[in-house]
Structure 1
Amino acid sequence: MSSNLTLGTAKLLLALLVAIAVVLAAGLAVGQAPALFGVEEEPEASITFPDQTTNGSGVEVESVTLSDGGFIVITNSAGETVAVSDRLDSGSHENVTIEQTDEDGGDLVGQLTATVHQDTADEGTYTFEESDGQEDRPYTENDLPVSDTASVTLSEREGDTPTDSFQVESLSLPTTATTNETVTVEAEIRNPRDVENRQRVEIRVDGEVLERKIIALEAEETTTVSFELETARLDPGDRTIGIYTTDHGQLDTLTIQYDTPPELALLEANESTATVNVTLPEDGFLTVENESQAVRGISENLSAGTHENVTLEFEAEGDETLFVVLYSGEPDEYDEEEGFPNADAIVIDGDRIRAALPSDDDQIQEG
């Protein structure tokens, strides 16, 4: 065998050994492989939020896992934030208790949703709302927020004697209503004591007390208590209706639907104008907004009903995705930070009614 062949073989063996060493090192750092090769893993999370009975001031999440740490955010059936956990470290956590954010906001009862949020701002405090959704966004799975929904009912309160409280024997209300109705909610209330008693009976919507009545019942007497609920004050969607006495109550769901369903169809758009057909359930207007809900254009005031070929003018700032959005109310006194003080975006099941404007050569699509 020649010396040249021996030298070539030695070089080949050396190269093989180096390659094996690299592979072994990579194998030892499997958890770091994405970082080593410049690929970031998507943050992952899971959560279990079971139905439960509480004292109204807090709820408990059975288990949650966060790959990068973050927060658990509790929202009511109207999509409003009612409680936020302390910052949780990455990993798994069990039996996490979360106290209500606003002590004057009513009890934490009804259909509540627990959503897992990241701590992208890395400040240790939850900043999703105050950053207009730019920071501390939810963990997602299949492009949907990682969340779980529970039915939360009120338990007995300390200091109350269970047998002293009037009992809510039954609750009666329609299953659906439109946004322009008066709904009668009735409950059978019983005094379980052997003496006359006076107590309060109250109606709550999504945990918020709307009205209280004081009633007197003889021993073992049962009576019907009625409340007239104006649906115009409620957001469309599933609303949790509760009738409560001192330490007893019952819940049911009332689905609020628009009297005239909102519709939005984008006809055409260019870099400065958009033309749409729109149906508004009540007087309102349209905006052109980016993903952060910064307004780039506002239409004239529109009466309730159907309008065709409505043209909006807008000014885009750089390369941004824009949407046409439906609002009810008045667009006056708009503030970049506070939005419209006398108007609300029209929503169905928590989703804003909007249509995406095309960019470049994209086709028109509703969003």
Structure 2
Amino acid sequence: MRTALAVLLTLVVVIGGVPIAATAQQETASVSFDNQATGGTTVVVDSVTLPDGGFVTIHDASVTEGNVLGSVAGSSAYLEPGTHENVTVSLDDPVAESGTYVAMPHVDSDGDRVYSFVAENGEADGPYTADGGAVIDDATVNASATVSMSDQPTTGDTVVVDRVELSQGGFVTIHDASVTEGAVFESIRGTSSYLEAGVHENVRVELDSPVSENTTLVPMAHMDTDDDQTYTFPESEGETDGPYVADGGAVVDTAAVSVSDTASIDYSEQVTGGYSIVVDSVFLPEGGFVTVHDGTVTEGAVFESIRGTSDYLEPGYYTDVRVELDTPLNETTTVVPMAHVDSDGDETYTFPESEGEADGPYTADGSAVIDSGNATVSASVDYSTKTSDGTTVVVDRVELSQGGFVTIHDASLLGGAVFESVVGTSEYLEPGVHEDVAVTLDEPIRSSQTLVPMAHMDTDGDEAYTFVEGEGDADGPYTADGGAVIDSAHTSVNAVVVASDQSGDGTTVTIDSVTLANGGFVTVHDASVTEGAVFESIRGTSDYLAPGTHENVEITLDAPLEESGTIVPMAHVDSDGDEMYTFDTSEGAADGPYVASTGAVVTTADYTVEGGEMTETTDEMTETTDEMTEEMTAESTDSGSQSNSEAPGFGVVVAVLALLAVAFVAQRRR
């Protein structure tokens, strides 16, 4: 089958009219991709050889039908020349249903370490070829789940599952070891609340049937087969909400749990901006707090050494506990995290105020339960996998000891392009903690890729980022352990819309450029979309646009603009695959907007009707966002008394409004 598929792909690439940038290779590229199960967001390529470096891209089966660009489900980060094994590929289009997928090595033909095959309409980063065809391997990928749980102490009432990934949503159920002996229902100890499709970390599960002795537990991923978000596997005697399966068996892990009444705490040396400390794990059998002391506690400064304390933690085991410091660290030092009891039961830490009479430390073997290690004061950056609209990137958390910036680099940084890799920088950030930092990119990025946020100092004190212009003489990166303080993560870019301010007679609008990973449309809304007029605000929609990038897209408006104002071009998916825009006629059931982590993928532009008056500018329009959000909340509450027949499509309208609200908040930050 694979030989036939390679030949078919050759025909697709040639006849489909998509040019490929493939050159003759001295060595032979190869790829091995085995059948596997996935939780939906990643697949693993067993082995890939890239003589000149590049990427391994995952296509869905539609590539065999000529859908060369739209079939791309995800691509790896840049891989150096050579052979790579067990390559994890993040998918921009998660796997929700089992099917055939195709792994294909691609050249980095433009040398920028960013996979731009789709965004460049096939003119860059084409596939490696051999014997007249693309180099490929195919595999059956089963939409399933993954689950992992570490050995841990427990009070017997709760346990923590490290990570659960569900392709279609569901639950994680804790069984005891008797499940391996056939006690399918009797072995159930507890089940999580409903979990949406996707990745969930540190899932705490309350045990309906507590454990009373050291034992092995078996976390198992379960589906929600009846779509009621209620776990009914035991009550239905297995007819509903059965387990996810992979390789012929249920998706499970095992973990040894030890029932204990002795507290414990673990801390690893780390880099911080000085305003918080993360404790790896803590076990509090009676509940309580984690207090961070500095090293003077070992010299007798019991109260004076306190730098910060966590919120109250219920009895149980916790991982990655972040403690915000009331007294920041201003230099590298030793810190001593300590487990404290909530001795007075008020869930409020009063150890220092009570001069030690309340909420004292847990003890073991006659000593306080502590751990210790260095905290290097510099900066920290946290950035997780997310979807961007191509114009803005949101960094989860930045902590700066002396103020500065967070700069976004693309993957060319890893190839030595220190300055050229900069794609955007935040405004000046004061010393301290900053969450959800929106960074407007200097130029839109049109391809999914690995981005690298980096913490930079303001070395010249002018609150202006001049690292690039000064060729590194000013505003260099924060450093620790001999390297720059960075984080990195895959960033999906499925759609980008760019439109400039323009003027005309009100009958047409020109979109500068639009990139659609899966094809679709660009719809022009007027500013009333911000007031809840999701359908009524539609002025016109483009013809169907194939996957890739389109420039200077002229849209004839069905409802011409009669006066000047703000227009809102929005990228829409062709969700029903008919190449006809039916978002309005289906009342939102089909062809909804492309979505990024910040909301619907939109842009705004001022349109001047020649001879008309400007009614509302882009800046004025964004001021309505908060009001729109309040209206959405009120309407959502009112809709509770309406039947579906009284309010067709209402849920979709509210969802679209929510996406717009978030999108415009993000635009206001630019």
How high is the TM-score relative to the length of structure 2?
Answer: 0.19
How high is the TM-score relative to the length of structure 1?
Answer: 0.34
Larger RCO of the pair (alpha carbons < 8 Å, separation 6+): 1
Higher strand share: 1
